[in-house]
């Protein structure tokens, strides 16, 4: 059964097809004028070994960890199947 998870950038990924999840990393976020926007979070999600099967999820702490909770929960906050 497919369980679609919506990523912060609007894309969807099938949680059942995920092979690995990297360790969350932090980075300094800045805007185009060089102003500090705080800390950003990033995690790499892979549905396969090939580079094309890797998804980099970036966003605020709440956004990234909400995606991880939805993937690891096994149900709950899964989004409906995309209609594209």
Number of domains present in the structure of the chain: 1
Residue 48 lies in a domain: yes
Residue 78 lies in a domain: no
**Predicted TM-score (pTM) of this structure:** 0.70
Residue 84 lies in a domain: no
Identify the pLDDT of residue 80. Answer: 53
Boundaries of domain holding 30: 4-73
Q: What confidence tens digit (pLDDT) does each residue in 12-61 have?
A: 888 888 899 999 999 998 889 989 888 999 999 998 878 788 899 999 89
CB neighbours (10 Å) of residue 41? 19
Q: Quote the CA–CA distance of 67 and 27 in Å, as a whole number.
A: 18
Residue 46 lies in a domain: yes
Q: What confidence tens digit (pLDDT) does each residue in 63-78 have?
A: 999 999 988 886 544 4
Residue 19 lies in a domain: yes
């Amino acid at each position: 059964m497919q369980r679609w998870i919506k990523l912060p950038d609007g894309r969807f990924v099938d949680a059942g097809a995920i092979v690995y999840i990297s360790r969350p990393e932090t980075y300094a976020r800045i805007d185009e004028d060089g102003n500090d926007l705080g800390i950003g979070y990033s995690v790499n999600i892979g549905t396969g070994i090939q580079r094309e099967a890797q998804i980099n999820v970036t966003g605020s702490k709440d956004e990234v960890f909400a995606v991880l909770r939805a993937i690891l929960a096994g149900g709950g906050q899964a989004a409906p199947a995309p209609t594209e």
